[in-house]
Amino acid sequence: MPYSSSGKGCVNAIITGASRGLGRELALGFINKTLLKEATLSSLTLMAREPEGLRALKAELETLNTGTEIFTIAADLSCTAGIDKAMTGLKHRPIVYHVLINNAGSAKSASYEKMQDCDIEEQIYVNLIAPMQLTRFFMERFFEGQDAPLASLGRVIQISSISAFMPHATIIPYAIAKRGLMEFATAIAKTFPAKGFTINTIVPGLMATDMGLKAVRQMMPGSDALSKETIAVKMAPYLPEKKITSFDDVVNLVGFLISKEGGALNGEFFRVASGLL
Ligand SMILES: NC(=O)c1ccc[n+]([C@@H]2O[C@H](COP(=O)([O-])OP(=O)(O)OC[C@H]3O[C@@H](n4cnc5c(N)ncnc54)[C@H](OP(=O)(O)O)[C@@H]3O)[C@@H](O)[C@H]2O)c1
C-alpha cells in the first residue's frame, strides 16, 4: 500500500540508464527525497550497460544511508539478449514494482542512407523496444500484486526527446523511436485504464550530459573543446527560453507524475524543452 494515511509505504522503483546523466540525477532525487515525498522507498533498481558506473552510484547512494535497498542490473538494452538479461534480473526478485522510469537512451548520428543497419536496429531497441518490454513486465507484476487498488501506485515514465517533434536528418532512427515511445504510452494508457496505474511521457530538450554534449558537438562545428559544464552557457542564447533543460526541471516533473496528485494524469506527454515548439 504505497500511499498510506501514515505516509509510510514500500515503493520499489526502477530506473534504466541510471549510471550517468539524467538517470543518475533521478536516482539521487529518489534518495534525497525530492522524488516520492509521500512514501518510503523500499528498493531502487539501477540499470545500465556498464557495471562499473552502477557500482559507483550504488556505493554513493548507500553512503546517504536511507535504508533503501539498492540493486543493480548491468544489461545492454540494444539487443534481445540484453533485454532478456535485464528482465531476468528483475524477475529474480518476487516483488511488485511501483515506479518504472524508462530513461536509457542512445543516439547515433549519421545521414540515414549511410547509417549501418546494426546502428539503426540498436537505436530502435534501446529507445523503443526495451521500454516497451520493460513496461509490459512492470504491468504484469503490478496487476498481479494489486491487492488494494484504491491505494496502489503504478507509474511508468517514458523519457522521450524533443527530437520526436523535430527529427533532425542525422538522427532519424532515434527520433522516430522517441516518437514511438510517446505513442506507445498513449496507447497503453487508453488500453489499460486502471486505478493507480498511469503511464506518461516526458519530452526533454538539450541537457548537460554526455549525450547532450555529443549532440552539440555535432550541431556546432568547432565546438570540440566544449565540456558538459559549459553547454548551458554556450547554448542558452540559441534557445527560446534562453536556457537548456535542467535536471531539476525533469526531476520535479517526475516527482509530480509519481505523486498521488499526479495520478490524475495518464497517457499525456510533457515538454520540458526550453520553449522549443
Ligand atoms: N541529453 C540530452 O540533451 C537529451 C535530450 C532529450 C532527451 N534525452 C533523453 O534523456 C535520457 C537520458 O539521457 P542522458 O542525456 O542522461 O544520456 P547519457 O548521459 O548519455 O546517459 C545514458 C544512460 O543510458 C545508459 N545506456 C546507454 N546505452 C545503453 C544501452 N544500450 N543499454 C542500456 N543502457 C544504456 C548509459 O549507461 P551505460 O553507458 O553504462 O550503458 C547511461 O546510464 C535518454 O533517454 C535521452 O534520449 C536526452
Tell me what pLDDT residue 194 has: 81
For residues 98 and 155, the answer to whether their CB atoms sit within 8 Å is: yes
The cell numbers describing 261, all together, are 496528485
Tell me what pLDDT residue 119 has: 97
Q: What is the pLDDT of residues 71-91, one digit of tens each?
A: 999 999 999 999 999 999 999
Spell out the domain ranges in the chain.
11-205+245-272, 208-244
* 3-state DSSP of 18-54: CCCHHHHHHHHHHHCCCCCCCCCEEEEEEEECCHHHH
Of ligand 1's listed atoms, the one at least distance from the Cα of 22 is 16
Of ligand 1's listed atoms, the one at least distance from the Cα of 53 is 40
CB distance 212 to ligand 1 below 6 Å: yes
Rounded to two decimals, what is the model's pTM? Answer: 0.96
Tell me what pLDDT residue 3 has: 57
Tell me what pLDDT residue 2 has: 61
Mapped onto helix, strand or coil, the DSSP state of residue 74 is strand
Q: Which residues, given as ranges, of the chain have pLDDT below 70?
A: 1-9, 146-152
Q: In the 8-state DSSP scheme, what is residue 6?
A: T
For the sheet containing 11-15, what is the strand order?
A: 69-74, 41-48, 11-15, 99-102, 154-159, 197-204, 269-272
CB distance 20 to ligand 1 below 6 Å: yes
The cell numbers describing 213, all together, are 554534449
Tell me what pLDDT residue 110 has: 95
CB distance 273 to ligand 1 below 6 Å: no
Q: Which among 47, 100, 103, 219 is the best mutation to test ligand 1's pocket, defined by most ligand atoms within 8 Å of the CB?
A: 103
CB distance 170 to ligand 1 below 6 Å: no
CB distance 126 to ligand 1 below 6 Å: yes
- Give 211 Cα–ligand 1 centroid separation in angstroms: 6
Which residue's CA is minimally distant from atom 44 of ligand 1?
105
Phi-psi category of residue 267: left, alpha or beta, with phi > 0 → left and psi -120 to 50 → alpha: left
For residues 25 and 202, the answer to whether their CB atoms sit within 8 Å is: no
Tell me what pLDDT residue 38 has: 84
Q: What is the pLDDT of residues 33-43, one digit of tens each?
A: 899 888 899 99
CB distance 76 to ligand 1 below 6 Å: yes
CB distance 134 to ligand 1 below 6 Å: no
Phi-psi category of residue 21: left, alpha or beta, with phi > 0 → left and psi -120 to 50 → alpha: left
- Give 104 Cα–ligand 1 centroid separation in angstroms: 5
* Domain 11-205+245-272 is found in CATH 3.40.50.720: yes
CB distance 49 to ligand 1 below 6 Å: yes
